[in-house]
Amino acid sequence: MNLKYRSSFGINGWFGHNRSYNQVYALANLSRRAKDRVTQSMYQGISYTWTNTLTYDFKINHHKINLLAGTEMLKNELSTSMEASKSGSAFGLPEYAYLYNVQNVETIGDISATGRDWAAQGGGLMSYMGRASYNFKEKYMLDITFRADGSSNFAPDNRWGYFPSVSTGWIFTEEDFMQSADWITFGKLRASWGQNGNQSISNFIYTSNINYLSRGYYFGADKLVSSSTSIPSNIPNPDVKWETSEQLNIGLDANFLDSRLGLNLDWYKKTTKDWLVIAPILGTFGADAPYINGGDVENKGYEMMLSWNERKTSFKYGISLSGAHNKNKVTRLANAEGIIHGETDVLAQGTAYVSRVEVGQPIGYFYGYKTDGIFQNNAEVNAYVTADGDPIRVGSEMDTPRRPGDVRFVDQNGDGVINETDKVKIGTPHPDFELGIQLNAEFKGFYANTTLAGKFGMQVMQSYRDFSGSPMQNFSTSVFNRWHGEGTSNTQPRLSAVANANSNYISDIYLHDADFLRVNNLTVGYKLDRILNSVDWMQAASVYVSVNNLYTFTKYDGMDPEVGYGPDSWSSGIDLGLYPLPRTVMLGVNVTF
């Protein structure tokens, strides 16, 4: 029997300050007078964690049992800030402004100070946990856990969330009937089901918060002077509660041929219930949108890994291949429309939203117009008609017919007008398949290893300029592939002196396939052990060269095909020219004493 108690207490504090310096010059009576202002801000905060666990182990014959009980408290105790400014330094330099050499101020406006105390917003998390583990003859295993978490981010009636889980395993190669199977070294079947919670929303967003505006409403006959005021910060939602992720997993771990061949298989189904999301609201509400439990999202798929490791005299090597397929689908949304629209003005100012959430579709899929190439000549323009022979109009272009070089939008419903009703799903930022490769080899002190990762079946929405603004802005070199005459391009429309549907309509002309395989790392080195055998005080040493982000195999013409950016918490895959990953080369020496 073994009884253990462990307690830990941690404090995390932060303190800092910022100082800015501005000079304002004025011309009066043909002379210049310099007036400097120094603004200094200070902020500080403290958070602490207190964790306690009690474990008890005991064994009865072949039965091993482990029990654990624990508590954990997280709390932000204090968070304050203060900002002040002075003007009129005697030396005209900011580094001297806070010494006792400041000139007399001319107006009360030359001295100001503001401050905030977020102590009440600190909030915290209180958790109680328990676990029971059972093992019989190292063949049958069972774990049962339970968590109760209370968060100040939710109203008192919804503060607590309860999250159970259970897992089991069977090492079938320990069974008597498997002892004669020389071809398999180790085999284990496992299954698990569990829940965990998410409380990552703003503090006290469930209730009404107030914003203070130093310049607010204007009163008086002429309305020349604004008065300070307070306004509602957000729409309260006392019914918001924990988001719960529930996952079922079934897996197999096995080693074959004296553990040279390894196999790992996993199938999973994960459902996120009561998804925490900011509700879409109208601007007429007059305050920021509330968090709601917006629906359910389902992810299911499989993961597998196949590895081979072998040693032949002085040469040893290893190969590992891993793959994963995930299918994402929104199964419920807590609104009548069953749709959440993304942010507008993302690809360019004045454009519609790019990403969308809809029941039955992957979360954050790309939404817009499908296209069917570029009009190459007037004959193709004249053939752009409905089944009745009427010309197809694009939006409000009543008097602006299509012309060569324009985009041929697909009229999905055949009504002769390209408008919102013709928008469809045009792509998704989620890959169909993910691949991982690891290779390593060693021969007589020389060694090399590399890691590759790839994603396939995903798309990226790309925009490197504000194409709805002035056409005189900078372009990328892809502009040379635009349409500028019959047969020159069937993917990029003509340039125009004014913005039009060719550029302003969100369509698949901005959609790019983003499959890639990246060499994440390559390391080549030499172990000096053979040379240093006579050095007693040194156990091992090696020299190496390592390259990170060596090369990316892709047809994507942007800066990086692996784009995670999205303006909403649920959107991704939008490339606005984010800085690409750097390539780094390192030379190093490892020494073990």
Q: Are 225 and 142 contacting, i.e. CB atoms less than 8 angstroms apart?
A: no
Pairing status of strand 574-575 against strand 459-462: parallel
End-to-end CA distance of the chain: 39
Reported as a single tens digit per residue, the pLDDT across 149-172 is: 999 899 999 999 999 999 999 999
- CA of 110: how far to CAs of 105, 297, 476, 490, in Å? 6, 55, 48, 62
CA distance 293 to 296: 9
- Mapping DSSP to helix (H, G, I), strand (E, B) and coil, where does residue 328 land? strand
State the pLDDT at residue 462.
94
Distance CA(403)–CA(414), nearest Å, equals 20
Residue 217 backbone dihedrals phi, psi, to 5 degrees? -85, 155
Which residue shows structure tokens 């792509």? 427
pLDDT tops 80 at residue 318 = yes
| Residue corresponding to tokens 């676990």 | 131
Question: How confident is the model at residue 92, as a pLDDT?
Answer: 58
CA 501 to chain centre: 31
Is pLDDT at 281 greater than 80 in this prediction?
Answer: no
Read off the pLDDT band of 202 (50, 70, 90): confident
Residues 6+ apart with CB under 8 A from 536: none
What is the three-class DSSP state of 469? coil
Q: Return all residues near 204 (Cβ < 8 A) that are at least 6 apart.
A: 121, 123, 152, 153
Separation between Cα atoms, residue 76 and residue 367, nearest integer Å: 41
Instruction: Give me the pLDDT at residue 464, please.
Output: 86
Instruction: Summarize pLDDT for 415-459 with one digit per residue, the tens.
Output: 999 999 999 999 999 999 999 999 999 998 899 999 999 999 999
39 pLDDT above the threshold of 90:
no
Q: Do the beta carbons of residue 475 and residue 466 sit within 8 Å?
A: no
Joined tokens for residue 182: 């020389």
Question: Would you state the pLDDT for residue 402?
Answer: 85
Which pair of tokens denotes residue 72? Answer: 């954990």
d(CA 128, CA 159): 14
Which has the closest alpha carbon to 120: 203, 49, 199? 203
| Alpha carbon distances (Å) from 530 to 314, 540, 587 | 13, 9, 21
Quick check: 38 pLDDT over 50?
Answer: yes
Strands 393-394 and 417-418, sheet pairing: parallel
DSSP E strand boundaries for 181-314: 184-198, 210-219, 225-232, 243-256, 261-273, 276-278, 291-293, 295-312
CA distances from 340 to 201, 273, 279, 353 (A): 18, 16, 8, 11
Q: Hey, what are 25's tokens? A: 């010059």
Global model pTM greater than 0.75: yes
**What is the structure's pLDDT at 353?**
95
Q: Is the pLDDT of residue 216 over 80?
A: no
pLDDT recorded at residue 233: 85
Rounded CA gap, 462 and 558, in Å?
8
Residue 469's pLDDT is what?
59
What is the spatial distance between Cα 284 and Cα 64, in angstroms, rounded to a whole number? 63
If DSSP codes are grouped into helix, strand and coil, which group holds residue 115? strand
Tell me which residue of 211, 209, 291, 207 sits closest to 243, measured CA to CA. Answer: 291
Residues 465-502 have pLDDT tens digits of: 877 656 667 788 888 999 999 999 999 999 887 778 89
Residue 108: pLDDT over 80: no
User: In Å, how far are 65, 317, 462 from 168, measured between CA atoms?
Assistant: 14, 34, 46
Confidence of residue 64 (pLDDT cuts 50, 70, 90): very high
- The candidate with the shortest Cα–Cα distance to 298, out of 363, 355, 249, is 363
Reported residue count of the chain is 593
Tokens of 80: 């304050």
Torsion angles phi and psi, residue 370, rounded to 5? -85, 145
- Number of alpha carbons in the 13 Å side-chain half-sphere of residue 322: 14
Average pLDDT, the chain: 85
Residues 148 and 126: their CA atoms lie apart, in Å, by 8
Q: What is the CA radius of gyration of the chain?
A: 32
Q: What is the torsional sign of CA 487, 492, 498, 499? A: positive
> Could you tell me which residue, 553 or 472, shows the higher pLDDT?
553
> Counting runs of H as helices and runs of E as strands, what totals does the chain give?
2, 32
Per-residue pLDDT for 23 more than 50?
no
Average the pLDDT over each of 107-116, 300-309, 499-508 and give the range with the smallest value: 107-116
CA 73 to chain centre: 27
- In this model, does residue 32 exceed pLDDT 50? no
Q: Say which DSSP state 390 is in.
A: P
pLDDT per position as a tens digit, 115-136: 554 444 567 899 999 999 999 9
Is pLDDT of 101 > 70?
A: no
Query: 103 in helix, strand or coil?
Result: coil
Q: Tokens 């959430």 identify what position?
A: 357
Percent of the chain whose predicted confidence (pLDDT) is above 70: 80
Q: Which tokens sit at 243?
A: 């988001």
Alpha carbon 89 to its chain centroid, in Å, reads 46
Ramachandran angles phi, psi of 90, nearest 5°? -65, -30
